[in-house]
Structure formats: structure tokens, C-alpha cells
Structure 1
Amino acid sequence: MSRSVEGTLEQPLELPPRTENKDLLGLYKDWQRRKKMVRKNRAWILGIIFLAVVWSWYATEFTLLYLISGAGNIAAFIATDLFPPDLSSIPMFIGPALETLYMSYAGMVISVAISLILAFLIARNMKFHPIISFICRSIVTFLRAVPALVWGIILVSAIGLGPFAGMVAVALSGVGILGKAFSDIVEEIDMDQVGAVKATGANWFQVVGQSVWPQFKSGFVGWSLYKLDLNIREAAVLGMVGAGGIGIVLERSISLFQYQEAAMGILMIFALILLVEFTTAKIRERIL
């Protein structure tokens, strides 16, 4: 018995091979490889951006010296022709300014209602029929690709002059922007919450109301109010093509070289935008 024990003790113990250093070395090499890849991709991106800037610089014939030399003429035009604004023309701009506000608000409501439906049909995590999702996504992409000014020109030719054409143009442009924004917000929600509500046996509307809407509400309100702010700018420009609003009066003043009246119109647009921004900020604070 003792001999067997002694023989056992005399035998060398077999230790497991040390793999910690090899694992660490492999991780370090993988980290170095990834770091080189990131640097290489970053260099490519910066190079492409630099080439795009140089190409745009030469394609537009941009000259910094010419811009500096023209600054004096711009300042002289503003000081002598544009200012002071013609305060007597304020009553002439009040009605068109309110018309611009009506167009912007009505266009925002229509675009929000349509975009809200399209967003759930487009969002990949909502898992609607792929053909329906593809068609809706194509519609939103097409509406986003066409500027509001182009919609205004088309609708003025089809419908006629007036604020209705401008309102429809703003609404179509809004569907293109809000449809994409809303669908991105829906795709970024936490699906674990959705799965938890589904596990309780809730139907589709209950799932949307209890798990999707609480996560979606903040982005929905923010983008909707932001689009109202954008609509004011778009509606002001649409008036210049006959689609109603303050742009019609502004374009007429510029065409008749009444630049002081035009300055008053620009200040009215600025005041309108400030009013809308202040109002939307208060609404956002109340809702959220």
C-alpha cells in the first residue's frame, strides 16, 4: 500500500496548458485589426468629403475674394434700399400673413394624419404585408423627393391660384418628411415592451396603445410641431408662385422695386415664425 502511494507521489503531475496568454494575444491582435479597419474607413470617408468639397467649390465657381468685395454692395443695398421698412404697409401684409398661418396649420394636420397611418405600414418591426409596406415606402420617398415649391407650381396649374393649392402642396411635402420620421421612430421603439404586452393576450390596438404609443409620443409631438414651423417658411415661398399667402404680396413688392415694403413683409414673416416657435414650445411643454 505504501509502495503504491509512493509511486503515485513520485509521478510528475500533468498541469493543464496555459491558454490565457494565447487568448489575450488573439484578442489584442483582433483589436489591432479592427482599429486599423476603423482608421482606414475614416480616411476613406474624409477623403471623399474633401474631394466633394473641392469639386463643389470649382463647380460653383466660388471665389472668396469676390464674396468679400461684394459685401460692400450688399451692405449698401440693405442700408439704402431695404431699410427702413415701410410701416404704412403693415395692413397690406396682415391678411396674407394670416392666410399663410392657415395654410401651414391645415397642411400640418393633413400631413400628420396621413403620415401616422403610413408610418405603421412602413415600419419593419410592425410586420405588415411586405408588398403594402413597399408601396407605402415608395409613396413616401416620392413625396419627399419633390420639393414643396414644385408641388405648388404643379397644383397652381392644375387647381388654380389661391391658398388651397398652397395648403395641398404643404401637406404633400409634409407626408414625405413626417412619414419617414414617424416610421424611423416606430422602428426604434423597445420591442421587449411590445412583447410583454402581447404576452398578456392584448389585441393589436391595445398593444399599440399600451406599449408603442408611450414610446412614440415624444417624437410624434416634436416632429409634428417642427413641421408646423417649417410650413410657415414653405408657405411664404409658395405665395411667390401664386399659391396664396404672404408670398404673393412680397413678390409683387419686389417686382415693383418697392424694397421697403418687401422689408416689411420679411419682418412680418420673421414675427410669424417667432410666434409659431413660441407657441409650439409652450404646447410641447404642456403635452410632454
Structure 2
Amino acid sequence: MNAVQIQSARKMKRAQTILFFVVLLGLIIWSSIGAEFSFGALFSGIGESFRFIFFDFLPPDFSSLSQLIEPALQTLYMSVVAMVIGSVIAGMLSFLAAATTSPHPYLQIGVRAATSLFRNIPVLIWTILLVAAFGLGAVVGTMSLILISIGMLTRSFAEVLEEIDMGQVEAVRAAGGSYFQVLSQAVVPQFLPGFIGWSLYNFEINVRASTIVGMVGGGGLGFILQSKLKLFQYQEASMAVLLVLVIVLIVEMITNRVRERII
């Protein structure tokens, strides 16, 4: 490449960079107009936000803690049930969704498509739909978390199965092992650490998501939080938020320790 070509390439790259930033700036301005975003409105509301948080919302009302214990336990129950049922169903589906273990390519595509539907519809939408169909309550919240868990874990488990050492699989096949013998002797032992790790991670996600689920009628702490906000009982709502934070941090600490010991 001669000097003229090098200079031309540099000019082309510079022009592409300028064009990229011009398009990016245009998208930002267009999106800001569409969203009616304004820095003036943002900064003008800082004082009111400060007053609300530090004078209305805080400090938490610790006297309301006794009322929150049962909803907090309900939140944990929902998360555990969703994790257990979701991981078991997803574990079975993942063997059909992974290229290394699926008996037929069409079955693999079908399972991936179905579980993708569960995963890509937000948990909030699932909860609203289920509340409309079944009414308010923790059962609806648990069902929403199960659907999301199945969608997320099937994909994650399938990826774990597609990364296993195929040498062990081929060795069992060469010894005349059947499909189920291959799974039990070569696949499952390699799959279990990933199964446990992703299931625990899903439990963490469920604990966080259960609060959002509860705020639209799915039970647990989220439902209490929404009720307190509607009744303008902000300091009791603040206590609920603090309890959610404590639960999330404790669950994260425990699951991290378990993963370190098992995996």
C-alpha cells in the first residue's frame, strides 16, 4: 500500500468516525424529544426529590418490622418454589434443547423456540396476564417466576451441555452404551456443577424479581410495598425496601458461598 492509499484510508476512517458520532448524536436528540426528556425538568425536581427521600421516606419505621416478616418469608417461599420447579423442568428440557444431547434437530428447535417465549416476555407482563386470569396472590407471583425461570435456565443449561467434553461421550458410545447410558455416565456428571450454579443464580434473580412481581399483585413484600405507597405510609414503605435489600444481600452471600464450595 503506497502513501496515497494510506492517506485515503485514513480520510475514509476519519469520515466514518465523524459520521458515526453525528448519527449517534442525532439518535440521542431524537430519542430525547420522543421521550420528552429535559435536563431543566430533571434538575428542577432534585430539590423535591431530596425533600421526599430524606423527610418523607426516611427514616424507616422499624415498628412496622413485625408486619413485614410474613410477607418477607412469602417472598422467599415464592423464590425457592420457582427455582426448584423451574430448574427441574428446565433441566429436562435442556437435554432436548442442546445440540449435543437432543435426539432430533427439529425437537431442539421447537424446545428452544418455546422456552424463548417464556424468557423474552418480561416477568411483569406475565404477572399482569396471570393476575387477570387467576386473581391476586402469591400463587400467581410464583407462576410468573416459574415461567421466567424455565425460559432462562433452559437456555443456560443447554449451553452447559453444549460445552461438555465430548471425548467421554464418545467413549461410552464406543463401548456400546445406549442414549440413556451416555446421558447418565458421560453427560450428567459434567452437567451437575453447571446445573447447581445456574439454579442458585436463578434463586438470586427470583428474590429480586419477586418484589416487582408483588407490586402488581403477585404477593410477598412487593405487594405490601405497593400498598404502603398507595396509603402514603412512606416510612413503612421505606422499612419494606430496607428489608428487601437485606434479604437480597443475605441470599447473594449464601449462594456465593455455596457455589464456591460445590462448583
TM-score, length basis structure 1? 0.78
- Match 2:90 to one of 102, 110, 115: 115
The answer for unaligned runs of 5 or more in structure 1 is 1-38
2:64 corresponding residue in structure 1: 89
2:3 corresponding residue in structure 1: none
Distance change (3 Å), C-alpha of 1:124 and 1:98: same
2:106 corresponding residue in structure 1: 131
1:188 corresponding residue in structure 2: 163
Q: Which moved more, 1:57-66 or 1:131-140?
A: 57-66
C-alpha distance in structure 2 between counterparts of 1:52 and 1:174, whole Å? 34
Q: Does 1:70 align with 2:45?
A: yes
User: CA offsets, 1:237-280, max 9 Å, x none?
Assistant: 22222221111211111001111010000001111111211221
User: CA offsets, 1:70-106, max 9 Å, x none?
Assistant: 3332222111111111111101111000001001100
C-alpha distance in structure 1 between counterparts of 2:160 and 2:21, whole Å? 32
Q: Does 1:275 align with 2:239?
A: no
1:22 corresponding residue in structure 2: none
C-alpha distance in structure 1 between counterparts of 2:205 and 2:257, whole Å? 17
2:173 corresponding residue in structure 1: 198
- Aligned residues: CA RMSD: 2.9
Distance change (3 Å), C-alpha of 1:279 and 1:194: same
Distance change (3 Å), C-alpha of 1:55 and 1:191: farther
Structure of higher CA gyration radius:
1
- Match 1:221 to one of 179, 182, 196: 196
Q: CA deviation at 1:138?
A: 1.7
Q: Which moved more, 1:84-93 or 1:130-139?
A: 130-139
- Match 2:222 to one of 247, 253, 268: 247
C-alpha distance in structure 2 between counterparts of 1:70 and 1:254, whole Å? 20
Q: Which amino acid aligns with 1:102?
A: Y
Superposed structure 1 runs of 4+ greater than 4 Å apart: 46-49, 51-55
Q: CA deviation at 1:158?
A: 2.2
Q: Which amino acid aligns with 1:89?
A: S
The answer for unaligned runs of 5 or more in structure 2 is 1-12
Q: Does 1:99 align with 2:51?
A: no
Seq. identity, %: 43
- Answer whether contact 2:145 2:206 (CA < 8 A) is retained: yes
User: CA offsets, 1:219-240, max 9 Å, x none?
Assistant: 3222111111111122112222
Distance change (3 Å), C-alpha of 1:47 and 1:141: farther
- Answer whether contact 2:95 2:102 (CA < 8 A) is retained: no
Q: Which amino acid aligns with 1:150?
A: I
Q: Which moved more, 1:81-90 or 1:219-228?
A: 219-228
C-alpha distance in structure 2 between counterparts of 1:49 and 1:199, whole Å? 57
- Answer whether contact 2:169 2:187 (CA < 8 A) is retained: yes
Q: Does 1:151 align with 2:151?
A: no
Q: Secondary structure at the match of 1:124?
A: coil
Q: CA deviation at 1:65?
A: 4.7
Q: Which amino acid aligns with 1:138?
A: A
- Answer whether contact 2:83 2:146 (CA < 8 A) is retained: yes
1:8 corresponding residue in structure 2: none
